[in-house]
């Protein structure tokens, strides 16, 4: 016997033993035992009725069963067709929305880059205007004014002309 066969047989034995132990523990509870007995009685009665009906009217049972199977088949086919139609509709809608999202994202990126370029252009214009109308700072004014004033050393004037 190979190792795999031994493992399989041990697995099956373990499952059977576990099932027996589980059933034993569950049947220790009185309400569980009653439920099991009631269900077993119901199954037995249904089986006996079906067997009796089958013996008495085999063609009628066959026709009823055939009718039920046909009805079930029709219902399942309708459900599958409706499910497929819903799937197709959702797939189509999601596909359209995905394209819309892609377009919106692209438009947003384009607007961002255009705005960035326009902001840079406006910034350059402000710099250009500032350089054209340059307002001297206080330090520049003081330095300019000092160069136009004569230099005095003690009581005598040293420099009396503006510096070019």
Quickly tell me which residue has 């340059």 as its tokens. Answer: 134
Task: Using DSSP, state whether 57 is helix, strand or coil.
Answer: coil
Helices (H), the chain: 3-27, 30-56, 58-132, 138-148
Residue 142 to residue 162: CA distance in whole angstroms: 14
- Residues 23-80: tens digit of each pLDDT: 888 888 888 888 888 999 999 999 898 888 888 888 888 898 899 999 999 999 999 9
Contact 136, 144 (CB under 8 A): yes
Contact 30, 36 (CB under 8 A): no
The domain locations on the chain are 22-56, 68-134
**Element of type H or E holding 162:** none
**Quick check: pTM over 0.75?**
no
- Residues 88-115: tens digit of each pLDDT: 999 999 888 988 899 999 999 999 999 9
Q: 50-89 burial by CB neighbour count: b if 16+ within 10 A, else e? A: eeeeeeeeeeeeeeeeeeeeeeeeeeeeeeeeeeeeeeee
> Which residues contact residue 61 at a Cβ distance below 8 angstroms, ignoring those fewer than 6 apart?
50, 53, 54
């Amino acid at each position: 016997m190979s190792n795999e066969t031994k493992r399989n047989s041990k697995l099956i034995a373990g499952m059977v033993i576990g099932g027996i132990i589980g059933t034993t523990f569950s049947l220790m509870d009185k309400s569980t035992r009653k439920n099991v007995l009631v269900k077993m009685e119901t199954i037995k009665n249904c089986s006996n009725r079906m067997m009796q009906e089958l013996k008495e009217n085999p063609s009628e049972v066959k026709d009823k069963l055939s009718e039920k199977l046909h009805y079930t088949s029709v219902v399942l086919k309708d459900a599958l067709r409706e499910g497929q139609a819903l799937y197709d509709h959702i797939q189509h809608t999601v596909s359209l929305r995905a394209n819309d999202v892609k377009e919106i994202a692209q438009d947003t990126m384009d607007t961002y880059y255009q705005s960035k370029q326009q902001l840079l252009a406006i910034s350059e214009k402000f710099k250009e205007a500032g350089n054209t109308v340059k307002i001297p700072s206080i330090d520049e004014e003081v330095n300019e004014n000092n160069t136009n004033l004569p230099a005095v050393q003690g009581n005598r004037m040293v420099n009396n002309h503006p510096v070019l």
